[in-house]
Amino acid sequence: MVFDLESITVKDTQGNISKSVADVISLHITLCDKLHMDMRAKDELYTDLKCLADVLDRMSSLPPDFEGKMKVSFWVQELDKLSAADTLTEDQVRQMVFDLESSREAFVRTLG
């Protein structure tokens, strides 16, 4: 059996929006915590980062050019270039933490 997850549409109900908000905040925190704990390998970060990008993309209340989407998407693309065991440099980790924190702050501002 094959499932085409790309074609699944989730209706923006209050329950879905609340879950998405919780997911976005928790994934931002999880990723920053991992980076602060010196977890820098692609295989330690990619799944959570890709999940965060997917949740942000599904939120129709966010504009396509939302700062947080663009920053998260940038880091997904950067990690796509690496093999599983490759690690981010100290400078990359510092920038990623900064981008994730500013992305989370921008997201929270959209909530009102």
**What pTM value is reported for the model?**
0.86
Q: Is the dihedral of CA 98, 88, 38, 34 positive or negative?
A: positive
How far is 4 from 77, CA to CA, in rounded Å?
Answer: 22
Question: Tens-digit pLDDT profile for the chain (112 aa)?
Answer: 444 445 444 455 556 788 999 999 999 999 999 999 999 999 999 999 999 999 999 998 899 999 999 999 999 999 999 999 999 999 999 999 999 999 999 999 999 8
- Predicted pLDDT at 47: 97
Burial (Cβ within 10 Å: 0-12, 13-18, ≥19) of residue 11: exposed
Q: Supply the pLDDT for residue 7.
A: 46
Where residue 38 falls (left for φ over 0; alpha for ψ -120 to 50; beta otherwise) is left
